Amino acid sequence: MVFVKILVWIAVLGGAILIMKYKERVVRMVGKNEMAERYLGPGGTYTFWVLFAILLIVIATVWLVG
């Protein structure tokens, strides 16, 4: 079971890094988020995706260590 948790953590970590690296392409695919633009300012959609990726890493790490 621990091995599976480690594999899931590595997959989430890799996905989050890819989201941060290719956030411009993600925004072009998904579109702009009006709420993020309103509350996070200009370019807020890009900030939202970075924060989302960091949140994924934190949640996966917490799940890994129990």
Number of residues assigned to the chain: 66
CA-CA distance, 53 to 31, in Å (whole number)? Answer: 17
pLDDT in tens, 33-61: 999 999 999 999 999 999 999 999 999 99
Q: pTM to 2 decimals?
A: 0.89
Q: Terminus-to-terminus CA distance in the chain, angstroms?
A: 12
Domain boundaries defined on the chain: 10-65
CA-CA distance, 56 to 28, in Å (whole number)? Answer: 21
pLDDT in tens, 6-20: 999 999 999 999 999
